[in-house]
Amino acid sequence: MAKLYFHYAAMNAGKSTLLLQAAHNYEEQGMRTLLMTSSLYADDENGAISSRLGVGADATLLDRNSDVMNIVKNELLEAKLDCIFIDEAQFLTKDQVWQCARIADHLGIPVMCYGLRTDFKGELFEGSAQLLAIADHLREIRTICWCGAKATMVVRKSAEGSTLAEGEQVDIEKSVYVSLCRKHWDEEMSRVL
């Protein structure tokens, strides 16, 4: 039975690297995969998933209006799909997460989602909240804080290096994110609130 998976972590834990490795394993066995990512990471109109380690792959772009089920059904007209991989899954809408569940349940294709759990304010992203609620399998990917403890939170820093406590939930281009354990995130946020 196909399942909906959510692999989540703080920034810089290697989520995209793990996704690309898993997709490569499928493809190496002669299986067909479909890779998708948020349009927020588009280079012009081209989608790609890339890792800080220098590996990458082309991907279908998704925005808040994308019909994931329809994209998959169109791909199935070409050939069978063995697995679907979605990077930056925190940016999915609630409805898109349900579409992913229906793909697993009704089309029998596993859907592997990778993304952040929380934003810089410590709040769940819409897609992450829904994935945590309905995914069949949850997996935390770990990274570490500067102190050596497990990092579960991120702070957003301005270009000048000051910690930000306000702003839009998503800011891909202008900010730097630092992964911290909950204790050090709380200390950092307490200084700016």
Q: What is the pLDDT of residue 48?
A: 82
Residues with a catalytic annotation lie at 88
Q: What is the pLDDT of residue 134?
A: 98
Would residue 49 count as lying in a domain?
yes
Would residue 192 count as lying in a domain?
no
Q: What is the pLDDT of residue 101?
A: 98
What is the number of structural domains in the chain? 1
pTM: predicted TM-score of the whole model, two decimal places:
0.90
Give residue 67's domain range.
4-141
Would residue 150 count as lying in a domain?
no
pLDDT along the chain (193 residues), means of 10: 95 90 96 94 72 85 96 96 97 98 98 94 95 97 93 85 75 73 91 79
CATH number of the domain residue 35 falls in: 3.40.50.300
Q: What is the pLDDT of residue 45?
A: 67
Written as six digits, the tokens of 44 are 């012009």
Distance separating alpha carbons of residues 35 and 28, to the nearest angstrom: 15
Would residue 117 count as lying in a domain?
yes
Would residue 43 count as lying in a domain?
yes
Strand blocks (E) in 121-192 = 137-140, 143-144, 150-151, 153-157, 163-164, 176-180
Would residue 60 count as lying in a domain?
yes
Would residue 67 count as lying in a domain?
yes
H-run or E-run covering 122: none
Would residue 170 count as lying in a domain?
no
